[in-house]
């Protein structure tokens, strides 16, 4: 039977279906009010992990979550990410893992989230221009000061994960991964072997899941939506997987949370497993090293 919880870093118990706050509008007005309502509803529905980042509105998303949920209920984990700064060029951000920048971003996140400690702080991207030991060393210093509980990474290869683990304890990895995009299968395998939480972003493959005939067929058999099947497959894929689907829609939020109750039978799982070539993930992983 699929486990319903996972203990991140051996300490932080969370439900295995989280919520990604990236899509929540933060501008004043009705859309923001809707965002506040969606965040609160996520917690009402039992979500215990909410993912945000400095990049999401350059801190505005963190402020939104604090407005919606502070004082935070016991057991709620809000994780944020640092390591990117604004840029005038496309895509509007750039890597910046210099220790002073990381420290400043963490200090500001503490203020925006209205907490004294960020229980799970993730490095949004590894800065290729700053030595990895300096980036992780800065986060380890903040950890030693009690401002960070656990350290996570985002968009890393197996090699980078191994290098990072030689410097700090890595509690989580957040990579793009879903039923139709399994490029990071090797990273997931490494996380499973080490007991590291794997938080797939883009977990439902957006509109692709709805146009795939096999996913649609399994959805019809299960009285579910294609998005729910994509999430159910992820939950069944590995006990370390904690998907973080994001939405600004109350209906989609409730639909996503309900996916945790879906159970795929062995035949359905086999059909879905065949949708991606197992070799593809390994080939693409090797190409990014």
**Residues 121-143: b if buried by 16+ CB within 10 A, e if exposed:** bbbbbbbeebebeebbebbbebb
| pLDDT the model gives residue 277 | 54
- Residue 176 DSSP one-character state: B
| pLDDT the model gives residue 210 | 75
Give residue 206's pLDDT band: very low, low, confident or very high (50, 70, 90): low
Per-residue pLDDT, averaged over 177-188, amounts to: 96
pTM given for the model = 0.93
CA 100 to CA 166: how far, in whole Å? 22
Nearest CA to 61 among 32, 88, 84, 41?
A: 32
Using the predicted structure, report yes or no on whether residue 288 has a pLDDT greater than 60. Answer: no
CATH 3.40.50.620 fits 5-287, yes or no: no
pLDDT digits (tens, 9 = 90+) for 214-273: 999 999 999 999 999 999 999 999 999 999 999 999 999 999 999 999 999 999 999 999
- Residue 4 DSSP one-character state: S
Q: What does the radius of gyration of the chain's CA atoms come to, in whole angstroms?
A: 18
Tokens representing residue 67 in the block: 């407005």
- Catalytic positions, please? 56
pLDDT digits (tens, 9 = 90+) for 105-161: 999 999 999 999 999 999 999 999 999 999 999 999 999 999 999 999 999 999 999
Are 158 and 184 in contact by the 8 Å Cβ rule? The answer is no
CA 246 to CA 229: how far, in whole Å? 16
CB-CB neighbours of 232 under 10 Å: 28
């Amino acid at each position: 039977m699929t486990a319903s919880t996972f203990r991140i870093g051996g300490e932080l118990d969370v439900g295995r279906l989280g919520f990604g706050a990236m899509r929540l509008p933060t501008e004043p007005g009705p859309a923001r009010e809707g965002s506040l309502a969606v965040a609160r509803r996520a917690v009402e529905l039992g979500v215990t992990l909410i993912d945000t980042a400095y990049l999401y509105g350059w801190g505005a998303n963190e402020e939104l979550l604090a407005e919606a949920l502070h004082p935070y209920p016991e057991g709620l984990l809000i994780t944020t990410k640092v390591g990117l700064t604004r840029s005038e060029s496309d895509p509007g951000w750039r890597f910046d893992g210099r220790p002073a920048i990381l420290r400043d971003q963490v200090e500001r996140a503490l203020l925006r989230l209205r907490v004294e400690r960020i229980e799970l702080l993730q490095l949004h991207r590894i800065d290729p221009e700053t030595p990895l030991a300096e980036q992780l060393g800065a986060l380890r210093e903040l950890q030693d000061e009690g401002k960070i509980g656990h350290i996570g990474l985002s968009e890393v290869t197996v090699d980078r994960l191994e290098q990072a683990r030689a410097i700090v304890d890595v509690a989580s990895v957040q990579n793009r991964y879903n039923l139709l995009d399994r490029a990071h299968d090797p990273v997931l395998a490494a996380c499973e072997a080490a007991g590291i939480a794997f938080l797939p972003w883009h977990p439902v493959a957006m509109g692709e899941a709805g146009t795939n005939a096999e996913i649609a067929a399994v959805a019809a058999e299960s009285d579910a939506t294609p998005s729910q099947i994509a999430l159910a497959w992820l939950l069944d894929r590995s006990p370390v997987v904690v998907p973080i689907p994001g939405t600004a829609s109350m209906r989609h939020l409730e639909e996503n949370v309900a996916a945790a109750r879906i159970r795929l039978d062995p035949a359905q799982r086999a059909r879905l497993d065949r949708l991606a070539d197992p070799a593809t993930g390994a080939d693409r992983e090797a190409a990014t090293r």
